[in-house]
Amino acid sequence: MQNETTVTELMEADHVELDGLLAELIIELNSDRRDVVSTYQRLDLFWARLAVHIRAEHLVVFPAVIDIAKVIEKQPPDIATVLQELRSDHDFFIKELARAVKAMRLVPDFGNESETFEIVRELVNQVRQRLERHNQIEEEMIYPLAAEVDAEHAQLMIRNNALKELENLPHRFQTT
């Protein structure tokens, strides 16, 4: 794939971008100034970006890996089990971040800013901790399988389809 990133490079780069968004969110949550609006915006963006990343994996990367694992001999043991565990992680991430977003939405109406920040900080930290191991599994086991596709055009198709999903952010985050 000349001058094109591979699906592995694309997805790993997205992990790096998501890690940066998460780091910014954690800094905001730990700040003494407790800006509810700014924190909510960072949390909402991280949640949305993680959701499109997960969608790209579920719709493009994971199905490609399943197909590839069927035809190559060097597949990891029980790829279906690994993918199920990753999907379970995805459910956890989205549900916990949804809880955090809901909590932040309630602050302007009900107050309890200190309590809410503590709850959201704990939810985000749980996501961060689980995300570290999760991303390592994807980067070491899943994404390399996507690179096992023999045909260059098939690799490019997987990469382009994943990119299309990654760029499909909710309208509230789209410019123009």
Range of the domain at 103: 7-170
* pLDDT tens figures, 86-132: 999 999 999 999 999 999 998 876 778 888 999 999 999 999 999 99
Domain presence at residue 60:
yes
* Apex 89 CA angle, 86 and 94, nearest 5: 130
Domain presence at residue 70:
yes
Domain presence at residue 175:
no
Domain presence at residue 107:
yes
Domain presence at residue 49:
yes
In the chain, the number of structural domains is 1
Domain presence at residue 1:
no
* pLDDT tens figures, 27-48: 999 988 888 999 999 999 999 9
**CATH number (domain holding residue 105):** 1.20.120.520
Identify the CA nearest to 106 among candidates 134, 115, 46.
115
Contacts of residues 103-108 at CB distance under 8 Å and 24 or more positions apart, as own/partner, are: 104/36, 104/39, 104/40, 104/43, 105/40, 107/36, 107/40, 108/36
Domain presence at residue 69:
yes
Domain presence at residue 108:
yes
Question: Quick check: pTM over 0.75?
Answer: yes
